[in-house]
Amino acid sequence: MSKTKVHRLGDLQLKIMKVLWERGDGTVADVHLALGGGRDLAYTTIATMLRKMEARGLVRHRVDGRSFVYRPAVGSDAVTRGMSDHLLDRLFEGSLADLVTHLLTTREVSREELSRLEQLIAERKKSA
């Protein structure tokens, strides 16, 4: 059985991927602008990060005139699944119950969220 590739992304990488997932594609300037385009985050930082992300297989590019237009090479579901599975395995030794217990005891949870969780658990029980 093949193991799913885990895409571990840093904060900036995840922000860049979210921009590309939402837009479909974009130049360095597009991504820079979408992330605020201010002095806190240099244009060259985005360009460097996109090159590194392409080397890791996270994004691809095509040339449009003098610009590289980047697009996601992996879907948001694959990244979410990989990162959450990694978190679950690393911090909670694979115990979903321990993860849920941690979240329920350390975060504010509304009645609506609790009802939704109950509904998800009931649906899962029916399909198991």
pLDDT tens, position by position, 58-106 = 999 999 999 999 999 999 999 999 889 989 999 999 999 999 999 999 9
Q: Which pair of tokens denotes residue 91?
A: 């911090």
Q: Is 37 exposed, middle or buried (0-12, 13-18, 19+ CB in 10 A)?
A: middle
pLDDT at residue 4, rounded to an integer: 59
DSSP string, 46-108: HHHHHHHHHHTTSEEEEEETTEEEEEESS-HHHHHHHHHHHHHHHHHTT-HHHHHHHHHHHS-
pLDDT at residue 99, rounded to an integer: 94
pTM over 0.85? The answer is no
Domain range for 110 is: 95-128
Shared domain check, 77 and 28:
yes
Q: What is the mean pLDDT of residues 35-62?
A: 92
Alpha-carbon distance of 122 to 45, in angstroms, equals 46
* Residue-averaged pLDDT of the chain: 92
| One-letter amino acid of 80 | T
Shared domain check, 78 and 58:
yes
Shared domain check, 100 and 38:
no
* Overall number of domains in the chain: 2
